[in-house]
Amino acid sequence: MKAGPKGQVKVAPLDFSALPEGRAGRRLAFIAEYLRVPKGVGAGELVQLRGFQVDIVETVFAPGIRTGLVSLPRANGKTALAAMLAVAELFVGDASAEVLVVASDQRQANITLRMAKRMIELNPELAERAQIYADRIVIPHNDSVLLPLPAEPGALHGFDPSLLIVDELHVVTEAVWEAVTSVSGKRPESLTLAISTPASSPDSVMWRLVEHGRFADDPAFALREFAAPDGCPTDDRQAWRTANPALACEHPFLAEDGLEAARRTLREPVFRQLRLGQWVTGVESWMPWGVWDTCKTERVIRPRERVVLAFDGSASGDSTALVGCTLDGHLWVEGLWENPGDPRWRVPREDVTRAVDIAFTKYDVAELACDPWGWRSEIEDWAKRHGERRVLEWNTAHGQRMAPATDRLYQAVVTNTVTHDGDPRMAAHIAHCVAKPTPMGDLVSKDKRGSPRKIDAAVAAIVAFDRAAWHQQRNRKRVRSFAS
């Protein structure tokens, strides 16, 4: 192997035989004996891991653990701990250890690399046994290497990591996580360790993994969360300590006045997410965090039950939704056609038409409200087959009509007066919606133009619920008229 800037390593390997054999104990002992604080509080001194850091290491390096997730607010030493564990893996991990540090981009990944380099440089015994390059660290004695990599699927294949660290999982896409997990687990002992603040949306890899850790009985998965209690005031100093162990531990390295300064300058949802470790949505999100899930219920739609259908279609490669609503306000997904990621994919129009025909057979359809863009010929055909009075155009771009309908569903969700079937695809579309204020009221839109985060099922649900409410009110007026 070509030597690094220091030249060939000529000293004998260090003797680590006195260190514990257990995964966690071995790394904790190495860190305590060989590593020094690279910067900040106690810079240059031997590392003294706080109790919460020891707890994290013992949790994720417990026997049999293959995947570890640590949810922790900012400024609690996540990157420093990741760098310590990376250096420990190089020296006392498996032979030919391969340490990958994956972050949102190369610049972010290099932060952990630079911190690991500094830790090695501060200990002459380690420094003279390492070759430090601009883009990696190599330990020739045991053929170990540390590589920083960007969170790009193509950059993650072809490796055999003993330790794979994912920095800030909340910005990692599903494709990246699949690439990460596809290269891990090849060794008798290996660990994929994600350390991150919470994501800002339930439509994220991190939230899926948090739920897996909370509720699944998976002996190979470890979850450690640090967060303030839900609903706590943002100025609750005790809640700060609960969420930020670096503030509450012995020899704290986080200052209260720094948190207070952040509280005064950050938007509340951002402060809660980044500094209190809470799962929240931003102020631009349409629905409050978690409220949609509270409306989920199990209900079977009876054959020939009177319902309303709403259709929001795509002309080409986007998604297309057919959503139903009973007249008393239960929503479900009758059909959803989404692009699987193929640029050549087009909506299967024949399948959509077949689903519409089947729905008219199964239910007593009071109305099918259709957004006409790109589907006029099909809508005209549906009207001919199922009745022009029952198949209507409903332009979702008409703000004066859409804004009240949007508010109607919003109010029903937050007051828990609507139910739905819990379809995860519609939940994702609801979560993707951001509120766009207009003079007529809020409208829903994507987070940005051309975003791959689809909202078609949410739009169809808004229309279906609005039209079902209209038909329900009409029926009540008719009953009162007959009674008089």
Measured CA distances, 3 to 9, 53, 100, 129 (Å):
8, 35, 21, 12
Mean pLDDT within 312-339: 92
**Model confidence pTM above 0.85:** no
Out of 185, 207, 226, a domain closes at 226
Q: Is position 283 within any domain?
A: no
72-122 confidence digits (pLDDT tens): 999 999 999 999 999 999 999 988 999 999 987 788 889 999 999 999 999
184-236 confidence digits (pLDDT tens): 878 888 999 999 999 877 778 999 999 999 998 999 999 999 999 988 999 99
Cα–Cα dist 85/91, whole Å: 10
Write out the E strands in 277-329: 306-312, 320-326
Looking at the structure, do residues 188 and 325 belong to the same domain, yes or no?
no
Looking at the structure, do residues 329 and 202 belong to the same domain, yes or no?
no
Q: Is position 433 within any domain?
A: yes
Looking at the structure, do residues 314 and 167 belong to the same domain, yes or no?
no
Looking at the structure, do residues 217 and 327 belong to the same domain, yes or no?
no
Q: What is the CATH number of the domain that holds 303?
A: 3.30.420.240
Domains in the chain, number: 2
Cα–Cα dist 302/441, whole Å: 35
Q: Is position 246 within any domain?
A: no
Q: Which domain holds residue 448?
A: 293-479
Looking at the structure, do residues 313 and 435 belong to the same domain, yes or no?
yes
Dihedral class, residue 79 (left if φ above 0, else alpha if ψ from -120 to 50, else beta): alpha
Q: Is position 375 within any domain?
A: yes
474-483 confidence digits (pLDDT tens): 876 554 544 4
Looking at the structure, do residues 314 and 394 belong to the same domain, yes or no?
yes
Out of 226, 250, 277, a domain closes at 226
Question: Contact 453/434 with Cβ under 8 angstroms?
Answer: no
Looking at the structure, do residues 297 and 221 belong to the same domain, yes or no?
no
Question: Contact 272/280 with Cβ under 8 angstroms?
Answer: yes
Q: Helix (H, G, I), strand (E, B), or coil: what is residue 104?
A: coil
Q: Is position 9 within any domain?
A: no
Q: What is the CATH number of the domain that holds 206?
A: 3.40.50.300
Q: Is position 287 within any domain?
A: no
Looking at the structure, do residues 95 and 222 belong to the same domain, yes or no?
yes
Looking at the structure, do residues 304 and 404 belong to the same domain, yes or no?
yes
Looking at the structure, do residues 297 and 187 belong to the same domain, yes or no?
no
Looking at the structure, do residues 300 and 210 belong to the same domain, yes or no?
no
Cα–Cα dist 144/95, whole Å: 7
Q: Is position 268 within any domain?
A: no
57-71, 189-203, 356-370, 415-429: least confident range: 189-203
Cα–Cα dist 92/139, whole Å: 11
